[in-house]
Structure 1
Amino acid sequence: MPRPRLEIADIFRRYGPAWRSANLGHVSLGQLKVMSAIEACRTETLGGHVAACTKCDHHHIAYNSCKNRHCPKCQGPAARDWIAARAEDLLPVEYFHVVFTIPAEIARIAYWNQKAVYGLLFRASAQTVMTIAADPKRLGAKVGMTSVLHTWGSALTHHPHIHMIVPGGGLSPDGNKWVGCKPGFFLHVRVLARLFRRLFLEGLLKLYRAGQLTFFGNLACLARADAFAKWLAPFRKTDWVVYAKPPFGGPVAVLAYLSRYTHRVAISNNRLVSADASTVAFRWKDYRIKRGDRQKVMRLATPEFIRRFLIHVLPEGFHRIRHYGLLASSARKTNIRKIRALLAVQSEKGTTEQEMEPETTSLTLREPCPCCGGPMRIIEIFRRGQIPMSRAPPREQAA
């Protein structure tokens, strides 16, 4: 794919210095590191190499990627590598997509206490599915799932939620039988929502009693136990949102879907429309519209756009993709082999890079020459800040 006309990196380079100066003391070190990484990504700042075709005269400069998980340009290759590793874990069964969301008021507390509350969101949603699925009146089986944390809405607002991909079935309690769900149906979302609400609120209260929550602004009063209990009570009676999408078309469709979700960032470069010192315009979906075209263009003040992007920077070391139950890393391979034996099937082959439709396609040594199809080889490596000796067109490619 051609490079987008406008990138997040362009906005950070042009307007980031003024924003950092205006918000001095209110920006975390992690957010500053993300800005610097995105600004330097695929530029001479990080060094790179010169690649040449072995059959024709084509050669190009490939600048190194920052590999930051919040960088829009780095996530396409990262998603491809991750999906290739997951292809061997696929099962020839229906897969379901379940979304768990917390109320907006609680999301405010989540932003102030990201590690604690985002971690609770992972645990409560996974425990909910495993508990309901294990109920003999429901599925009566031990299931597994892959969970992905997203913290944004389409308009870059703070909207933490879990996207969960679940195989449609599980192992019987004795582990000797595969128990499949009904075609096209996994578990009742209302039942899931009620248990999720209870488990999450119990977990939140436990965090509070352990002194792991902090409060700011007009919610600073919640530091008092009586105020927190009164504030928490109404959430026990409101309906929480758990949404289950229809099953996928098959294992290949699961991989294609995962490649778009697992390594997604708050906003892709392709959604940007324009940017100047005062305003950034970008495309977004208005999900309040039930029918018709949801696509709209939003215009935000440039400082507000930068702020919204950076509120989705996760704490350092926090894992946004997690596996539970049968797919937990410690026992995943053993469980997959056992399930395949019970289903008497062979390992499903992975999809191709074209089928996964990555957001960006980079020209690397894994790919042939774009001119003649010949193999590419590295003829020079240059370090940070160095200028390559070999002359090449100033094309920006990933290394």
Structure 2
Amino acid sequence: MNKLVIQLPLLFAVLTGQYSISPEKAGLSKKRLHRLDKTMHEFVDQGKLSGVQTVIMRNGMIGHYDTYGHADIDSKKALRDDSIFRIYSMTKPIVSVALMMLYEEGKFLLDDPVHKYIPEFKDLKVYKPAFTKNDLRSPIINLWPFNKIRTVQKAKKTMTIIDLLRHTSGFGYGWGPNTYVDRKYRKAKILNRKNSKDFIEKLSGIPLYHEPGTGWRYGVSTDVCGYLVEILSGQSLDEFLSTRIFKPLNMVDTHFQLPKNKIPRFTSNYINNIPKKFRKLAKVLGISFNPDGELMEIDHADSSEFTENITFFSGGGGLVSTTKDYLQFCKMILNKGELNGARILGPKTMELITEDHLKFIPHEGGPLSLPNNGTSFGLGFSVVKNNAAKEIIGSVGTHGWGGAAGTFFGIDPKEDLIFILMIQLVDFNNLKISNTFQTMVYQSIVE
């Protein structure tokens, strides 16, 4: 009987995919990890998050894995260790790796013109502002008819594939102060297309924000990378990622379209309450909010767009995944492109991907400001350059990224460290939760 009692928990752990957790072997302090739990749990207890899941892996050992709160608030469905999250832009590092796999196969060179493989981009136009940045500071410039003055010219510089990988292509998202190009993106509903070909055709008709290679601007560049994967491999992006990355890395719960049998494990997505001073503006803009100050559900697990028939595989933000799956991907990155005998990329390619590729390239607009004094960008990943400038504890050389619903990860080669945060809240910036999580991760390291 005692033998059975001992073996059943082990069998359960194997069946449910649970890890052996040892803070001591990971060089982490149990006492300090309690601080992490308390801090992250407070976000849930105070009604700022529905649930939170965190993991820390160091020296090849899981030192922390915590799950707290709800997957869905209304039904009180508990968050589980194997819950599935919308990872949105944490799709980008995966798709960037996929494209670099084809680079290693000799399918292209990084300085190849994009139009060599996507003819629709042969004669791209670029927006040329009629006024300087100093002129734009005047409120008069934003009034009619001055705000209608613009020029659109043929791009002088050629967009290359490396421009797509490092976000220097001139593409954006349409997130901005309602400029001419912003309006073009919104009118095109650029990420709401029926398939990747339709996406490319629409995008080719929108002027670039700036000349390729002259500035960094966050946008749909990685969606174009996803289309390149399809063109160069002859497979759909969904099929390529599944066969070449997910299956070799045992990422069994990462999908563009969530299978029906996995919907019970899916989480709901939320928006935080809008402060009173912005509610009148929100009403004018047609933005919903909960007047009672509670989290408001914007995408229910049972009726989510991710459970519908997906025909456009967004390389920039279309995946759902689990913490366990994404940890597998991070382990491969930390291990220089290989995991458990599955070689995804070569070590020298991994070095190139995680280098600073913006040393001589400035920020050129948009809500995300890179490069800055503390952080730059590689090929699909952010790269830490200076901890003091970032004003947060960490290590130079750490690479990672985040997603639109607050998911976040970091890979620190110096500390042999991986840390992952999973939440589902689209307006998470005011919580500074990723910085809080990172601080609590590094303070837990004691040896």
Q: TM (normalized to structure 1)?
A: 0.26
Higher RCO (CA 8 Å, separation ≥ 6 residues): 1
TM-score (ref. length: structure 2): 0.24
